[in-house]
Chains A and B, each alone.
Chain A
Amino acid sequence: MFRKQIAISILSLPLIIGFYINSPAQDTQTLVKSCFNYMRGSASISTVDMIIHRPGWERSMTIKAWTKGEKKSFFVITAPPKDNGNGTLKKGREMWMFNPKINRVIKLPPSMMSQGWMGSDFSNNDLAKSDSLINEYVHRVVGTEMLDGKKVYLVESIPQPAAPVVWGMQKLKIREDFIMLSQEFYDEDFRLVKAMTTDNIQMIGGKLFPKIWKMQKADTDDEYTLLEYKALLFKEDLPDRLFTLSNLKNPRR
Chain B
Amino acid sequence: MHIHLAWRNIWRNPRRTTVILTAVVIGIWSMVFLGALMRGMMTGMIDNGISTLTGDIQVHHKGYRNDPVIENSMTNPSMLKKILNDTLPNGSQWTARIRVNAVANNARHYSGVTMVGINPAQEAKISFIGPERIQGKYLDSMDHHGIVIGRELLEKFETRIGKKLVLMSQDTNQEIASRAFKIIGIFTAEMKATEKQFVFVTMSAAEKMLKLKNTISEISIIIPENHNNSKIASDIREVLPPKDYEVHTWQELLHILTAYLEMFDQFMYIWFVVVFIAMGFGIVNTTLMAVYERMREFGLLKALGMKPWWIVRSVIYESFLLLIMGMAIGNLLAFACIHALSKNGIDLSYLAEGADYFGISRIIFPDIFFQDVLVANLVVIVLGIIVSIYPAVRAARFTPVEALAHI
A interface residues with partner B (beta carbon < 8 Å): 93-94, 109-111, 113-114, 125, 128, 162-168, 185-188, 193
Q: Tell me if B112 and A111 are in contact (CB < 8 A).
A: yes
Chain A residues with Cβ under 8 A from B180's Cβ?
A: 162-165
Contact of A110 among B107, B163, B178 (CB under 8 A): B178
Known: A94-B176, A163-B180, A188-B163. A110 touches B169 (CB 8 A): yes
State the total of A-B contacts with C-beta under 8 angstroms. 57
Chain B proximity of A217: nearest CB distance (Å): 10
Offer 29 A-B interface pairs, CB within 8 angstroms, sorted by A. A94-B175, A94-B176, A109-B170, A110-B103, A110-B169, A110-B170, A110-B176, A110-B178, A111-B112, A113-B176, A114-B110, A114-B168, A125-B105, A162-B145, A162-B180, A163-B180, A164-B166, A164-B167, A165-B180, A166-B105, A168-B107, A168-B164, A185-B107, A188-B106, A188-B107, A188-B159, A188-B164, A193-B107, A193-B108
Q: Tell me if A165 and B112 are in contact (CB < 8 A).
A: no
B116 part of interface (Cβ distance < 8 Å): no
**Once the chains are docked, how many angstroms separate the CA of A166 from the CA of B103?**
12
Q: Tell me if A166 and B168 are in contact (CB < 8 A).
A: no
Residue of B nearest to A128 (CB): B176
Chain A residues with Cβ under 8 A from B137's Cβ?
A: none
Extra A-B contacts (18), CB below 8 Å, given A166-B105, A187-B106, A193-B108: A94-B175, A94-B176, A110-B103, A111-B103, A114-B105, A114-B110, A114-B168, A162-B180, A163-B180, A164-B166, A164-B179, A164-B180, A165-B180, A168-B107, A185-B107, A188-B159, A188-B163, A188-B164
B102 part of interface (Cβ distance < 8 Å): yes
**Once the chains are docked, how many angstroms separate the CA of A111 from the CA of B103?**
6
**Once the chains are docked, how many angstroms separate the CA of A165 from the CA of B169?**
14
Residue of A nearest to B181 (CB): A164
Q: Tell me if B163 and A165 are in contact (CB < 8 A).
A: no
Q: Tell me if A113 and B103 are in contact (CB < 8 A).
A: yes
Chain B interface mostly: strand
Contacting residues of chain B (211-235) with chain A, CB-CB under 8 angstroms? none
Q: Mark B83-127 against chain A: 1 for CB-CB distance below 8 A, else 0.
A: 000000000000000000111011110101000000000000000
Most buried by B among A163, A164, A167: A164
Q: Tell me if A186 and B175 are in contact (CB < 8 A).
A: no
Chain B proximity of A176: nearest CB distance (Å): 30
Contact of B107 among A94, A162, A166 (CB under 8 A): A166
**Once the chains are docked, how many angstroms separate the CA of A168 from the CA of B180?**
12
Q: Mark B122-146 against chain A: 1 for CB-CB distance below 8 A, else 0.
A: 0000000000000000000000010
Chain B proximity of A71: nearest CB distance (Å): 14
Chain B residues with Cβ under 8 A from A186's Cβ?
A: 107
Contact of A113 among B101, B108, B168 (CB under 8 A): B168
Q: Tell me if B163 and A114 are in contact (CB < 8 A).
A: no
**Once the chains are docked, how many angstroms separate the CA of A94 from the CA of B175?**
7
**Once the chains are docked, how many angstroms separate the CA of A185 from the CA of B106?**
12
Residue of B nearest to A162 (CB): B180
**Once the chains are docked, how many angstroms separate the CA of A193 from the CA of B106?**
11
**Once the chains are docked, how many angstroms separate the CA of A114 from the CA of B164?**
16
**Once the chains are docked, how many angstroms separate the CA of A164 from the CA of B208?**
13
Residue of A nearest to B110 (CB): A114
Most buried by A among B102, B159, B169, B178: B178
Q: Mark B143-163 against chain A: 1 for CB-CB distance below 8 A, else 0.
A: 001000000000000010001
Q: Tell me if A165 and B145 are in contact (CB < 8 A).
A: no
Chain A residues with Cβ under 8 A from B112's Cβ?
A: 111
Residue of A nearest to B209 (CB): A164
Chain A residues with Cβ under 8 A from B107's Cβ?
A: 166-168, 185-188, 193
**Once the chains are docked, how many angstroms separate the CA of A40 from the CA of B373?**
78
**Once the chains are docked, how many angstroms separate the CA of A96 from the CA of B105?**
21
Chain A residues with Cβ under 8 A from B168's Cβ?
A: 110-111, 113-114, 164
Chain A residues with Cβ under 8 A from B176's Cβ?
A: 93-94, 110, 113, 128
Chain B proximity of A86: nearest CB distance (Å): 21
Chain B residues with Cβ under 8 A from A163's Cβ?
A: 180
Chain B residues with Cβ under 8 A from A168's Cβ?
A: 107, 164
**Once the chains are docked, how many angstroms separate the CA of A193 from the CA of B110?**
14
**Once the chains are docked, how many angstroms separate the CA of A208 from the CA of B101?**
45
**Once the chains are docked, how many angstroms separate the CA of A109 from the CA of B100?**
13
Chain B proximity of A174: nearest CB distance (Å): 22
Residue of B nearest to A107 (CB): B174
Known: A94-B176, A111-B112, A188-B164. A166 touches B102 (CB 8 A): no
Chain A proximity of B179: nearest CB distance (Å): 5
